[in-house]
Amino acid sequence: MDTGLIGLGNMGAGIARSLLRAGHKVVVYNRTREKAEALAANGAKVAANIAEACATGVVLTMLADDSAVEAAVFGEGGILKWLPKGGLHVSLSTIGVRLSERLTNEHGQAGQHYVAAPVFGRPEAAENARLAVVAAGRAEAIERCRPLFESMGPKLMIAGTWPSQANVVKLTGNFMIASAVESLAEGIAFARKAGLDAAAVLDFLTSTLFTAPLYKTYGTLIVEDRYEPAGFALPLGLKDVRLVLQAAEANKVAMPVASVLRDRMITALARGHEKSDWSVIGRVAAEDAGLPGRG
């Protein structure tokens, strides 16, 4: 089918190629035009502005954070203005519940449709159509873009008819990943301080109880004290925890482990780890235990 796609970072570019490979016609737009032009070789049509990316009547956005989405939608020359009546905006970004609700309202008032469809997976998964997609919105709107979701990955969850419900699932998942990283951080610091070979402990635990790949991935970063280059940078991780806490507070849910995660990540920032992977909370745990880095 025909679709626009705005936002061509690592995730967005990978999704564009997966969609093109599956036979969709994709009009791509990026603030820095080079990133869009790089996709022409894959068959994408390059849009000069947001208006052109909206012309197909369906537009996906894959942007870094709430303010990037706000700028693309509500800004001068943004989606809200250019998407035709009856058009559909599908937000793939990890954004807050509050913004998702605002998008629902404002698109609705403009006679447009809105689906929230955040994704789980790293850039390789985007590239190889291995993402897991959580979509929410009106049933007919979701059906309309289902072919796009199916070209992004094998796993699709329909979370509900209210778009922000998909954002809640995404935030819950990211919270649980961050919790697993913190438990690795504390557990590894404890084992190291008690004189154990942390790599051997990690190998044992991940081959018996903690077989989900994320434990191996993040555990290895922590054991090797290797947080650069960042797969997912600390400030983005803190942003997600903040969105979790905001949405939970709006629902009157206390999440004490999320509070711990927030404190740890802030401390990591205060120690200058702005460019590190969010798993650098493993180094914070090690330092707090008086352990040296791995050099």
Output the smallest distance, CB 142 to a second copy, in A: 15
Q: What does each C-alpha distance from 158 to 4, 126, 146, 162 come to in angstroms?
A: 22, 19, 10, 10
Residues 201-220 binding a second copy (CB under 8 A) are: 201, 204-205, 207-215
What does DSSP assign to residue 7? -
CB atoms near residue 139 (< 10 Å): 9
Q: What share of the chain is helix, strand, coil (3-state, %, to 5)?
A: 55, 15, 30
Strands (E), the chain: 2-6, 25-29, 45-46, 58-61, 88-91, 113-116, 119-120, 132-136, 155-160
Buried/exposed code over 72-109 (b: 16+ C-beta within 10 A; e: otherwise): bbeeeebbbebbeeebbbbbbbbbbbebbbbbbebbee
Please give the DSSP secondary-structure letter assigned to residue 32: S
Candidates 264, 280, 282, 283; binder of a second copy (CB under 8 A) is 264
Q: How far is the CB of 66 from a second copy (least distance, A)?
A: 15
Q: How far apart are CA 199 and CA 208, in angstroms?
A: 14
Q: Which of 254, 292, 293, 295 binds a second copy (CB under 8 A)?
A: 254
Nearer to a second copy, 46 or 157 (CB): 157
Structural element, H or E, at residue 163: none
One of 79, 134, 152, 223 touching a second copy (CB under 8 A): 134
**Which one of residues 129, 148, 258, 280 is an interface residue with a second copy (CB under 8 A)?**
258
Please choose, from the candidates 288, 280, 291, 285, the residue with its C-alpha nearest in 3D space to the C-alpha of residue 227: 280
Catalytic residue among 25, 81, 155, 170: 170
What track of x and - describes contact with a second copy for positions 97 through 116 (by CB under 8 A)? Answer: x-------------------
Q: Which is nearer to a second copy, 71 or 212 (CB)?
A: 212
Among 10, 128, 220, 267, the residue binding a second copy under the rule CB under 8 A is 267
Output 4 or 118, the one with its CB closest to a second copy. Answer: 118
- 176 binds a second copy, rule: CB under 8 A: yes
Nearer CB in complex with a second copy: 124/288: 288
- Whether the upstream peptide bond of residue 229 has omega within 30° of 0, thus cis, is yes
Q: Is 199 in the site for a second copy (CB under 8 A)?
A: no
To a second copy, the closest distance from the beta carbon of 171 in angstroms equals 8
Q: Which of residues 179-198 bind a second copy (CB under 8 A)?
A: 179-180, 182-184, 186-187, 189-191, 193-197
Q: Is 270 in the site for a second copy (CB under 8 A)?
A: yes
- Let me know if 170 is a catalytic residue: yes
Q: How far is the CB of 201 from a second copy (least distance, A)?
A: 6
Question: End-to-end distance of the chain based on CA atoms, in angstroms?
Answer: 51
Residues between 52 and 91 with contacts to a second copy, criterion CB under 8 A: none
253 belongs to the binding site for a second copy (CB under 8 A)? yes
155 binds a second copy (CB under 8 A): yes
> What are 114's strand-pairing partners?
89
Tokens at 111, concatenated: 């006679």
Q: 135 — phi, psi (to 5°)? A: -115, 150
- Return the active site residues: 170
